[in-house]
Amino acid sequence: MIDVSKVATNIESNENGIWLSKNHNRVSYPPQGSVEIFEVENDSLWFNHRNRLIVEAMRKYPPGGVVLDVGGGNGFVSLAIKNAGIDVALLEPWYNGALNARKRGVPCVICSSLEEAGFIPHSIPAIGIFDVLEHMENDQEILKLIKTFLLPHGRLYITVPTFEFLWSAEDTRYEHYRRYTLKLLTSRLVSTGFDIEFKTYIFALLPIPVFLFRTIPTKLGFDVNTMTHHVQPDNFLSRMLKKSFDMELNSIKNNRYIPFGSSCLVVAKSI
């Protein structure tokens, strides 16, 4: 377990067992986002599959210590990491998200932005940023900051949404600045001083339905509630998705590259 007081200088514990930054500003994420996501995470095929892939990536490329889950929201990913036997601490700027994570059983929760917690340089073994980088206007600066806090040869685990042609009202609503390709993300990481250990697209079956049911309605001016897409009834489509997801998990286990998908997953090492 990480001793937070030894790696961050601008935080203090409160009565709920949450470490709070002594000052923090708004980040690019709407406050209702944590509430909406909290309501669907447990039953979502998407969130549960992403957790499986993240945990498998950490098993293949061990963190070597505690993982700091940056922008970890309600703690859904952090809890999966913890349940896999990996030490984890969650960093989340919105208090309601941090409180949800604490109630879920995440042992170490810090309510702060990455910049304001006062982390000591080269003090963190590994960092995860899961669908967070797209919320950062200057993603290159955030990656540089992450590298500053990582131990030498510390690992970074990252997922992001892919392909600008899949842009929809959901991206605007959740205050995304961009969608990525593996080439773009790799370029950002390498130019910041990371060595790519593993990279792949994930959610291989989803680009077409995302384009049909999110991108096109957005272009036609319709407002689609995408949260309803996360919980699927037990039908042929959901069974096909689950089979595809199992194949993706096996690909991660065997270090195989998936050439296309609505998200990508990268493991990188600080050099």
- The secondary structure of residue 269, as a DSSP letter, is E
**Domain 4-270 belongs in CATH node 1.10.3720.10:** no
Record the pTM.
Answer: 0.93
Cα–Cα nearest to 149, from 2, 1, 12: 2
Query: 77 Cβ partners below 8 Å, 6+ apart?
Result: 50, 51, 54, 69, 128, 130
Question: Hey, where are the domains in the chain?
Answer: 4-270
Residue 222: count other Cβ atoms within 10 Å of its Cβ. 10
| SS3 label, residue 143 | helix
pLDDT tens digits, one per residue of 102-135: 999 999 999 999 999 999 999 999 999 999 999 9
Q: Using an 8 Å Cβ cutoff, are 24 and 112 in contact?
A: yes
Buried b (16+ CB within 10 A) or exposed e, 87-117: bbbbbbbbbbbbbbbbebebbbbbbbbbbbb
pLDDT tens digits, one per residue of 160-211: 999 999 999 999 999 999 999 999 999 999 999 999 999 999 999 999 999 9
Sign of CA pseudo-dihedral 111, 113, 118, 121: positive
pLDDT band at 24 (very low <50, low <70, confident <90, very high): low
